[in-house]
Amino acid sequence: MSTDFKKLFELRGELDSKQKITLTILGSVILVLIWFLMAEVLSNSVITQNGSINVSTLKQENKLYYENDSILVASYDKLELLNKEELEQYGLIKNKVYPLLPSPIKVIKAFPELNRDDDVIGNTFFSIKLNIFGYLLAIVVAIPIGFLLGLVPLFRGLFSKIIDSYRFIPLTAVTGIFIMWLGLGSQMKVSFLAFGIVVYLIPVVVQRIDEVQKVYLNTVFTLGASPWQTIKTVYIPYVLSKLIDDIRVLTAISWTYITIVEMLNKGGGIGELIWTAKRQSRIDKAFAILIIIVVIGVLQDKIFVMIDKVLFPFKHVNKGNKH
């Protein structure tokens, strides 16, 4: 018991599969409980009549206003005039609202509404399609350019520093340029997403080329390999085996770009649903959509790991033997 407990605090210690699953479940429960408690602490009680806010019977000093799309909310905690009997006399009821952080229960209840009123499934698959197309375009552009910059000194000297500097461009500021070039359709969204990935992916390709160990290069040189054979047998396998991990990390960033471009017009997608939830002051819907994005991201990550194991099984041999 004590030995197992101490292992949980070893520096860079490892967990077995059972421990990982148990601790993941426990951590999720703890976070949900913290979320629930914070939501309750930040909640307010309001007086409503027939589902709408009623402030007509209150004194001015007892009114607390929240700007939620022109809805006036009267805080029950601030009321000094109305007791329970007076509330019933006016046909008023006490409701709890969550203006800052929704309750997990409210978020769960928002999923059926999203499915019924907002076609969340169709919009989610639309965003996934944009993500896939944007990634494919980015990979097709970034890998050849990255190899040219990484392998040919002329191109590295001419363009490497310039392309590296593109990472500092705030992508939200160039959305207007993409709209002027390509309009507001899916073509613009895919191109914007690809651009946001390319500016990070090209320098990574160059970095991976620089990381190729000289022992491999010396080996193929001793065997009399031509430059193309060196690229094909050393650089391409090494760089691609590392690059898939970099691409997997960038999938998280791509969802940020997707939500940005989908908020620009009513063309569908996750971003538009978040914007609609904001306009409706439905923070529970917004949180539900964020949970959907997180679930998609986790699934994408698992798919990338599976692809990695199929294409580059040698990377996982030692990991498999370790356990």
* Burial category of 55 from C-beta neighbours within 10 Å (exposed 0-12, middle 13-18, buried 19 and up): middle
The predicted-structure confidence for 228-257, as pLDDT tens digits, reads as follows: 999 999 999 999 999 998 888 887 788 888
Residue (of 216, 245, 223) closest to 309 by Cα position: 245
Confidence of residue 27 (pLDDT cuts 50, 70, 90): very high
Token match 């590296």: residue?
164
| List of E strands, the chain | 44-49, 52-53, 93-97
Residues 284 and 102 sit within 8 Å (Cβ to Cβ): yes
Residues 101 and 39 sit within 8 Å (Cβ to Cβ): yes
What is the Cα–Cα distance from 203 to 168, expressed in whole angstroms? 13
CA distances from 18 to 11, 14, 21, 22 (A): 19, 12, 5, 6
What is the Cα–Cα distance from 147 to 145, expressed in whole angstroms? 5
Q: For residue 116, is pLDDT > 50? A: yes
What is the Cα–Cα distance from 266 to 273, expressed in whole angstroms? 9
What is the Cα–Cα distance from 295 to 69, expressed in whole angstroms? 30
- Domain assignments of the chain as residue spans, ordered by start: 2-40, 44-97, 108-322
Residue 168 is predicted with a pLDDT of 87
Q: For residue 37, is pLDDT > 50? A: yes
What is the DSSP pairing of strand 44-49 with strand 93-97?
antiparallel
Residues 131 and 258 sit within 8 Å (Cβ to Cβ): yes
Residue 65 is predicted with a pLDDT of 42
Q: For residue 44, is pLDDT > 80? A: no
What is the Cα–Cα distance from 289 to 111, expressed in whole angstroms? 8
Residue 64 is predicted with a pLDDT of 46
pTM (2 d.p.): 0.77
* DSSP result, 291-310: HHHHHHHHHHHHHHHHHHHH
What is the Cα–Cα distance from 10 to 12, expressed in whole angstroms? 6
CA quadruple 195, 200, 204, 207: dihedral, nearest 10: 120
Q: For residue 148, is pLDDT > 90? A: yes
Residue (of 259, 253, 266, 250) closest to 286 by Cα position: 259
Q: How many CA atoms lie within 13 A of 186 on its CB side?
A: 11
Q: Which residue has the higher pLDDT, 316 or 270?
A: 270
- Give me the chain's average pLDDT, please: 81
What is the Cα–Cα distance from 229 to 284, expressed in whole angstroms? 57
Helix pair 186-210, 236-262: axis angle to 10 deg? 150
Confidence of residue 67 (pLDDT cuts 50, 70, 90): very low
According to the per-residue pLDDT averaged within each range, which of 48-57, 152-161, 213-222, 312-321 is highest? Answer: 152-161
- Does the domain made of 108-322 have the CATH classification 1.10.3720.10? yes
Q: For residue 208, is pLDDT > 50? A: yes
Q: For residue 264, is pLDDT > 80? A: no
Confidence of residue 86 (pLDDT cuts 50, 70, 90): low
**Amino acid at residue number 213:** Q
